[in-house]
């Protein structure tokens, strides 16, 4: 029997955090609907929660879900502008690195839109539970930019050709397709409830110490490769892409709510 949830985060912030299942499960909830934008404030809140609970004895797993109809519309476009993007990428990629090396399974439950930085966040977790109508995609190319983290994580999680389909087209796929492609683990009308059921059935009776060693063994090569490639993709984004005219035009056009005028340079 689980104890009542223990609130450990501020409701007024962009993230809610609490413990349940007698302290064995850390719940993290994106709490700024409808968009749940993954901006600097959300990244800092997530990083703070992971830091606070990293060494908690008896913790078996994390469940990351969301308020509102949508997991996340993605990162802040304003923070992608040339004067802001270095700090934005550094913070986001540090958070993803923390998640990639987290010692317990991170279960992610998503409904609605799970796009851009939101999908990158979800892919840094271990197991993904999605609703049938969920829409998962990386639309950044439509703005004239590419997603550094997704460019690394998608090919590592699914087949190269399918990863390139999503990255180059900017299109989205539904929950059933995400499961068929191996991006999602389970499709359920209530993905958070499905993730909780997974925890109760498959994780709750395990040793937290043994789980931590198992997670590290299973993820070691994946995490090391992802972190190395992520640094390279971040450098390419900052030093190559952001010096092009069309990348700056695409972002400016989005913020001005007009069609971009590409010059292919």
Q: Give yes or no for a contact between 85 and 237, defined as CB atoms under 8 angstroms apart.
A: yes
Q: Calculate mean pLDDT across residues 191-195.
A: 98
| DSSP states of 61-96 | EEEEEESSS-SB--B-SGGGSTTTHHHHHHHHHHHH
> Which pLDDT does position 10 carry in this prediction?
42
Q: What is the pLDDT of residue 123?
A: 98
pLDDT value at position 12? 61
Dist. CA 52–CA 173, nearest whole Å: 34
8-state DSSP, 38: B
C-beta of residue 62 within 8 angstroms of C-beta of residue 99: no
Report d(CA 107, CA 126) in Å as an integer: 6
Asked if the model's pLDDT at residue 52 lies above 60, the reply is yes
CATH 3.40.50.2300 corresponds to the domain 6-191+202-208 = no
How far is it, in rounded angstroms, from Cα 61 to Cα 199?
8
Let me know: does 111 contact 129? Beta carbons within 8 Å. no
Sequence-distant (6+) residues with CB within 8 A of 160 are: none
Q: What is the pLDDT of residues 9-35, one digit of tens each?
A: 444 689 999 999 999 999 999 999 999
Judge whether residue 97 has pLDDT over 80. Answer: yes
Per residue in 245-255, pLDDT tens?
999 999 999 99
> Does the pLDDT at position 215 exceed 60?
yes
| Domains of the chain, residue spans | 6-191+202-208
Mean pLDDT, to the nearest integer, of 154-169? 97
pLDDT grade for 179, boundaries at 50, 70 and 90: very high
Q: What's the whole-number mean pLDDT along residues 184-200? A: 98
Rounded average pLDDT over 221-236: 96
Is 51 buried (19+), middle (13-18) or exposed (0-12) by CB count in 10 A? exposed
Question: Mean per-residue pLDDT for 107-129?
Answer: 98
Its pTM stands at 0.94
Q: Is the pLDDT of residue 60 over 50?
A: yes
Give the mean model confidence (pLDDT) for residues 212-237.
96
Mean pLDDT of 72-76: 95
Least reliable range by pLDDT among 9-13, 20-24, 65-69, 111-115? 9-13
Comparing CA positions, the residue from 171, 96, 177 lying closest to residue 130 is 177
Mean pLDDT to the nearest integer, 239-247: 96
pLDDT band at 80 (very low <50, low <70, confident <90, very high): confident
| Chain mean pLDDT for the chain | 94
Nearest Cα to 76, choosing from 44, 35, 24?
A: 35
Residue 165 has pLDDT above 70, yes or no: yes
């Amino acid at each position: 029997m689980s104890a009542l949830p223990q609130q450990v985060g501020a409701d007024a912030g962009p993230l809610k955090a609490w413990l349940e299942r007698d302290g064995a499960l850390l719940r993290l909830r994106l709490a700024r609907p409808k968009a749940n934008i993954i901006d600097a404030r959300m990244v800092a809140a997530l990083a703070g929660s992971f830091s606070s609970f990293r060494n908690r004895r008896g913790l078996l797993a994390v469940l990351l879900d969301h308020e509102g109809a949508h997991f996340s519309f993605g990162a802040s476009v304003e923070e992608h502008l040339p004067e802001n993007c270095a700090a934005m990428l550094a913070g986001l990629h540090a958070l993803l690195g923390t998640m990639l090396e987290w010692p317990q399974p991170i279960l992610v439950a998503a409904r609605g839109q799970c796009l851009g930085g939101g999908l990158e966040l979800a892919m840094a977790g271990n197991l993904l539970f999605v609703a049938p109508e969920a829409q998962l995609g990386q639309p950044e190319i439509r703005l004239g930019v590419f997603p550094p983290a997704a460019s690394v994580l998608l090919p590592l999680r699914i087949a190269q050709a399918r990863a390139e389909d999503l990255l180059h087209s900017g299109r989205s796929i539904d929950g059933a397709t995400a499961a068929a492609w191996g991006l999602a683990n389970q499709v359920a009308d209530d993905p958070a409830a499905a993730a909780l059921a997974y925890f109760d059935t498959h994780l709750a009776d395990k040793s937290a110490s043994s789980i931590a060693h198992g997670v590290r063994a299973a993820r070691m090569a994946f995490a090391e490769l992802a972190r190395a490639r992520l640094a390279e993709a971040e450098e390419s984004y900052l030093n190559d892409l952001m010096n092009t005219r069309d990348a700056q035009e695409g972002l400016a056009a989005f913020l001005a709510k007009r069609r971009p005028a590409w010059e292919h340079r």
